[in-house]
Amino acid sequence: MTEHTLTVAGVAVDPRHWIGGERVASAGTFTDVSPIDGRALGEIARGTPAEAAAAVAAAKAAFPAWAATSRAERARILHAIADGVEKRLEELAIVETTDNGALLRSHRRGVMPRVAHNFRFFADWSLTLDHEDFETRGHTNHVSWDPAGPCVLITPWNAPLMLATWKIAPALAAGNTVVLKPAEWSPLTASLLADIAAEAGLPAGVLNVVQGYGSEIGDALTSHPDVRRISFTGSVPTARRIAASAAPHLTPLSLELGGKSPLLVFADADLDLAVDLAVEQYDNAGQVCLAATRILVEETVAEEFTRRFVAKAGALVQGDPREEATDIGPTIHPRQLEKIDGFVRRAVEAGARVVIGGHRVDERSYAPTLLTEVAQDSEIVQEEVFGPVLTLQTFADEDEAVRLADDTRFGLAATLVTGDRERADRVTGRLTAGTVWVNCFFVRDLKAPFGGSRHSGVGREGGTWSFDFYCDLKNTVTAPKGWNDHG
By annotation, the residues acting in catalysis are: 256, 289
d(CA 194, CA 335): 29
Phi, psi of 406 (to 5 degrees): -90, -5
Tell me the sheet residues that pair with 134: 141
In Å, what is the CA distance from 247 to each residue of 88, 150, 214, 224, 337?
A: 40, 17, 18, 11, 34
d(CA 314, CA 308) in angstroms, rounded, equals 10
C-alpha dist (Å) from residue 367 to 60, 133, 279, 360, 372: 47, 58, 13, 6, 16
- 304-336 per-residue burial string, b: 16 or more CB within 10 A, e: under 16: ebbebbeeebeeeebebbbeeebbbbbbbbeeb
Burial of 348 (0-12, 13-18, 19+ CB in 10 A): middle
Sequence-ordered strand ranges (E) for 236-388 = 253-256, 262-265, 294-298, 353-356, 369-372
Main-chain phi, psi angles of 295, to 5 degrees: -90, 120
- Answer whether 6's CB lies under 8 Å from 42's CB: yes
Question: How far apart are the C-alpha atoms of 275 and 132, rounded to whole Å?
Answer: 47
- Nearest Cα residue to 204 out of 213, 212, 194: 194
Can you say how many angstroms the Cα of residue 282 is from the centroid of all Cα atoms in its chain? 17
Instruction: Please calculate the CA angle 266-421-462 and round it to the nearest 5 degrees.
Output: 95
